[in-house]
Amino acid sequence: MSENAAPTVHADKVPLGEHARKSERRESRVAGWLSSALSRGTAMPAIASLVVIAVFFQSQSPYFLSPDNLTNLAVQASLVATIALGEVVVLLLAEIDLSLGSVSGATAAILGVLMASGNMPWFIAVPIMLACGAAMGAFQGWWIAWLGIPSFVVTLAGMLGFLGLQLWILGPQGTLSIFDPNIGALTGSTLPAEAGWIVAAIVAVAVVAAALVRGARGRLTMKSFGLPVVLAALVIAGVAVFNASRGVPTAFLFLLALLVLGWWVTQHTRPGRHLFAVGGNPEAARRAGVPVRRIRFAAFTISGTLAAVGGLLAASYNASAGTLTGGGTLLLEAIGAAVIGGTSLFGGRGSVWSALFGALIMGGVANGLDLTNAEQPVKYMVQGAIVLLAVSLDTILRRRQSRGRQIGGVHV
């Protein structure tokens, strides 16, 4: 995605040196560059899939790419993308978190109790809710990091336990209405057109200026300058589309801010880089002095917090917290989104942007099928097929790439 994207590896399970030794003899600069560009571009298959989906559904329904529908899609995708972001953080460690749906449901219920029954203002209730999500994640992280219990088991227990907590909090009536306009505004409101343009201008100028500042230090190449320009153009185009409808959705802007923060932390901070190191080789990371346990603990705390943010978005969207909040296929869609977006289940490879792309693919397909009046069973089957296809494509691309190195040729 970015020129700072993690150097990624396809050889999760390939014996080391096998192909590297052969390729060493035929080291060609061009082949090396292409190969590393390919392996860094974890988002490429996801972007290609998005284009295919857009073209296909537009041909089926002219409403699909309309500004109104794209705005709805952006709001709907924000919830899945937020949970998927939490899943990405954990997947980078080669762990998994099955409890995110239940945590978002339970924290939404907590929010409902605090606001509906406790009459708390939102600026007190929301921090408490987020802290509860963090605590649930931290609790699971403690079992995983310090007792060494597999995350699959701990979070499976968490999924059941926190679902129980959610139902217990909601009690017999099952649903708590949240009428607070501030909560509702999170998913219900959009930026005024002028504000949207101002945000677009600031982001575009900042991105290009940052690239120019780097360039002034003598590192301006087409590679490093092309991406910021494309990014700036995308931001402006995005705002133009949203403004043609109701304006930039607040929820989507919020999601993008979360993603930029996540990108900064994973790509540019020590703990973020350690996340990749532990995911790549936990024992090597430990021996090099990386605080592996603290990193694992922190990752689950973060995923729990993000699940609570997802619960907040769900409560806002539905104006209530119910027994079904955070349930259904939400968790599986989030894991699917992270993986479709290009984050490896084997750890150490991926990016926070995969949460966005994956959620847009999942949401786009569901939305497109709705527009073409497909039935729910069909939707599930198509979504399942897409998860399978996306991961297969990813795996085949990577295998091909390594074989390409081996015979010295370049497959693109």
17 touches other proteins by CB under 8 A: yes
Closest approach of other proteins to the CB of residue 282, in Å: 9
Give the residue, chosen from 11, 120, 138, 201, that forms a contact with other proteins under the rule CB under 8 A: 11
The dihedral of CA 241, 247, 248, 252: what is its sign?
Answer: negative
Rounded to whole angstroms, how far apart are CA atoms 109 and 120? 14
15 touches other proteins by CB under 8 A: no
- 38-77: which residues touch other proteins (CB under 8 A)? 39
* Token pair listed for 270: 């020590």
Closest approach of other proteins to the CB of residue 169, in Å: 34
Rounded to whole angstroms, how far apart are CA atoms 251 and 198? 17
221 touches other proteins by CB under 8 A: no
281 touches other proteins by CB under 8 A: yes
The DSSP-derived string for 341-356 is TT--TTSS---THHHH
16 touches other proteins by CB under 8 A: yes
Total chain residues near other proteins (CB under 8 A): 40
Nearer to other proteins, 11 or 120 (CB): 11
What Cα–Cα distance (Å) separates residue 102 from each residue in 167, 183, 193, 317?
A: 10, 20, 37, 17
Decide if 175 contacts 323 (C-beta within 8 A).
yes
184 touches other proteins by CB under 8 A: no
Closest approach of other proteins to the CB of residue 9, in Å: 4
Closest CA to 342 of 3, 6, 4: 6
- 239-278: which residues touch other proteins (CB under 8 A)? 264, 268-270, 273-274, 276-277
284 touches other proteins by CB under 8 A: yes
Rounded to whole angstroms, how far apart are CA atoms 137 and 95? 13
* Token pair listed for 97: 């978190």
Please count the other Cβ atoms lying within 10 Å of the Cβ belonging to residue 213.
Answer: 11
400 touches other proteins by CB under 8 A: no
405 touches other proteins by CB under 8 A: yes
285 touches other proteins by CB under 8 A: yes
Give the residue, chosen from 158, 348, 358, 364, that forms a contact with other proteins under the rule CB under 8 A: 348
Three-point CA angle 56, 62, 68, nearest 5°? 110
Classify residue 15 by its DSSP letter.
Answer: P
- What is the contact surface with other proteins in residues (CB under 8 A)? 4, 6-9, 11, 16-17, 20-21, 23-24, 27, 32, 35-36, 39, 264, 268-270, 273-274, 276-277, 279-281, 283-291, 348-349, 405
